[in-house]
Amino acid sequence: MLAQPVHFIYGARDQRVDPAAFATLGEVCGIKVTALAEVGHTPIWDQPEAVAAAIFQPCAGLRRGQ
């Protein structure tokens, strides 16, 4: 297990790395794994809004200062 929380975001349509390789990361390493549909090898380039939403989604509902 990792000491710090990790959120791994990847493109489900990656053609350089088999996305199936990422499927067990959550189980093995205890990290949060998010697959973005219709996204390739560089999610931040392909769909920056989807990446931002995945990063900030756990913060939804929190008020400033929490």
Domain ranges of the chain: 7-59
Please state, in angstroms and rounded to a whole number, the distance separating the CA atoms of residues 48 and 18: 21
Model's pTM, two decimal places? Answer: 0.76
Please state, in angstroms and rounded to a whole number, the distance separating the CA atoms of residues 3 and 6: 9
Predicted local distance difference test score (pLDDT) of residue 34? 92
Q: Considering only CA atoms, which of 30, 41, 39 is closest in space to residue 53?
A: 39
Predicted local distance difference test score (pLDDT) of residue 65? 59
Q: What is the mean pLDDT for each group of 10 consecutive residues in the chain (66 residues)?
A: 82 91 81 91 95 83 60
